[in-house]
Structure 1
């Protein structure tokens, strides 16, 4: 996605608004994810994967769901970071049984 400064600002503001809403709605996002890092990541992903037209025609609800999915994946990546070795074994065993 090639953009000018005005388009960049518009994309950034829209993503900031959506991330703020999602973090308000879901305390897990707010407690475990960095607002700034998520916004930066979403801007990069949108610029890489969407054309300006696709981004601009995406409804707020579609952008919200797109963002929620990426934020959920990011959140899942944090699972286990604070596990003790014993907790990691329990978690690994539980995953293997599924």
Structure 2
């Protein structure tokens, strides 16, 4: 969904607060994820899936919850990138069994 520059700036400011808070609460996010890339990924995801009005209607807790989930997936992807082929096979087997 398209937003104008002013709306994008407002979304970015709100997301900056959320990402900063999540990285403080969960140091593993701060260690493994790049702040700028994470912020841009979240902004892109929210702009793609929500109108500005829908985004703005999210409570801080809802926004934090959705952002935490997206950041956790990015973290999992970053961890998976460092797996050896054997470790990846073990991980995939474990996921299939769940």
Q: Same fold (TM over 0.5)?
A: yes
Structure 1 gaps of 5+ residues are none
Aligned residues: 98
Instruction: Give the 5 Å matches for 1:1-98.
Output: 1-84=1-84, 91=91
**Post-superposition CA distance 1:48-81 (Å, at most 9, x none):** 0001111011001100000000000111112243
Q: TM-score, normalised by structure 2?
A: 0.84
Q: Provide the C-alpha distance between the structure 1 equivalents of 2:3 and 2:41, rounded to a whole number of angstroms.
A: 17
Q: TM-score, normalised by structure 1?
A: 0.84
Task: Find the residue that maps to 1:77 and give its secondary structure.
Answer: helix
Q: Which structure's CA Rg is the greater one?
A: 1
Task: Find the residue that maps to 1:78 and give its secondary structure.
Answer: helix
Structure 2 gaps of 5+ residues are none
Flag the structure with higher helix content.
2
Cα distance 1:95–1:52, how it changes in 2: closer, same or farther (>3 A)?
closer
